[in-house]
Amino acid sequence: MSSPVPPSPPSSMESLILRLHDISAVKFGTFILKSGITSPIYIDLRLIISYPSLLSHISQTLTSSLKSSSVPFDVVCGVPYTALPIATAVSVKEDVPMVMRRKEVKSYGTGKVIEGVVEKGKRCLVVEDLVTSGASVIETVAPLRECGLVVTDAVVLIDREQGGRENLLENGIKLHSLVKLSEMVGVLRRFGKVDEATEKMVLKFLEENKKVAVPKVEGSRKVKMGYRERAALAKNETGRRLYEVMLQKESNLCLAADVGTAAELLDLADKVGHEICMLKTHVDILPDFTPDFGSKLRKIAEKQNFLIFEDRKFADIGNTVTMQYEGGIFRILEWADIVNAHIISGPGIVDGLKLKGLPRGRGLLLLAEMSSAGNLATGDYTAAAFKIAQDHSDFVIGFISVNPASWQGGPDNPAFIHATPGVQMVKGGDALGQQYNTPYSVIFDRGSDIIIVGRGIIKAENPAEAARQYRIEGWNAYLSKCS
């Protein structure tokens, strides 16, 4: 069968693919990949170091793609070893620093894993030649993050379309690829480099191997993302600001200010505000509420640098919650950075709140779980909340949850933040069914991000000192989780 008539002339990307084929960097046969699967196609990009013009072509194409996608970075790091020359070419062309990860750490000298000048907080772009499962990128990201670099993006020449993109996203890394393997084979077919049978064989292989798991390495552990990296992933302005406040104050403590009067609440907020990242209110329990309550609380929040979370637990249909949010005597939209909602009425409740909240830069937490004994927010309900959050990630910033480590998409999805109520220094419960867990248990064991503490602070002889102790306990648990 004759080859299809090729387009003329080939595009820049097509020319690159054809050159890779010409130097035998694209091979067809039977090959065992790092992931352990047997593949009918193998890409050997180690050869490009002997073709400087091709290496330059690849680096130029990579940088052009990054600029068009507006991917910010301060430093680059190539995955050893094949991607090192590509990363070097990008570094030289863009005049940005480069660091290098050692695959084998030396027992002499400095014994460093990451070589080069590392400045904490800088955004590091990981450069890779091709991705199958994403394992090599994940192995490179771990020590970079441990050194204090922020890693949220990786750029790759070829995506083999076998689960790498999804595996990386689960670790907080967005993959930017120049070409997919199916597209690459299609170009070779159009230009008569492979026959129809070979193309069909590769496409069938890709269809049957869409998800390649990341190989488990003995003694390895999953990359733990810090708040700084997760802030970079947040799509919502308030969600991003919450992470930033947590980092600035080294606090993942939310005070549940369930006191008897507005006057008490404002006084308590001023006394403990320097220790918290967020203050949770129940405005409808305040008998002395006045229209200026919100503005008074916002002044304290701005002075003490914390966010306001009105624990309204909206649960009605979209049109009703829109009016409850914006109007009434409380006018919650005007002063609360964050509100929360049940999803019992379906996704329309999020649409209603989003209609008013998103233009004001507000954020929403969904109640995925509750801390009271015998509650019904479990199983399918929790899964439904997660699905709705994914569909509205520009407005939903996370969840009220109890044990996110136990449900799919919990702490493994870095786009969302988890706040857990019912926290005290000792485990237990009260006569009304509230269950308590310790700060360490909530953050380290259960995978949450923010501890919500009420009576442990409010009922203390010195609320400010109690808040300080909870802040330290919560933050130390976070540091342990990331170490």
| Angstrom distance (rounded) from CA 54 to CA 20 | 8
The DSSP secondary structure of 150-188, one letter per residue, reads EEEEEEEEEE--SSHHHHHHHTT-EEEEEEEHHHHHHHH
Q: How far apart are CA 450 and CA 402, in angstroms?
A: 11
Distance CA 49, CA 55 (A): 7
**Spatial separation of the C-alpha atoms in residues 232 and 189, rounded to whole Å:** 40
Catalytic residue at 120? Answer: no
Give residue 483's identity as a one-letter amino acid code: S
Q: Which two tokens stand for residue 167?
A: 């595996």
Question: Tokens 């993942």 appear where?
Answer: 252
Write out the E strands in 370-455: 396-400, 417-420, 428-429, 435-436, 450-453
The C-alpha atoms of residue 418 and residue 400 are separated, in whole angstroms, by: 6
Is residue 211 exposed (0-12), middle (13-18) or buried (19+ Cβ within 10 Å)? Answer: exposed
Q: Are the C-beta atoms of 133 and 139 separated by less than 8 Å? A: no
Nearest Cα to 440, choosing from 470, 412, 407, 477?
A: 477
Tokens linked to 462: 């010195």
- CA-CA-CA-CA torsion for 283, 472, 443, 166, nearest 10 degrees? 100
Q: CA–CA separation, 449 vs 101, rounded Å?
A: 29
Cβ contact 138:223 at 8 Å: yes
Of the candidates 122, 174, 271, 313, the residue annotated as catalytic is 313
Which residues carry out catalysis? 313
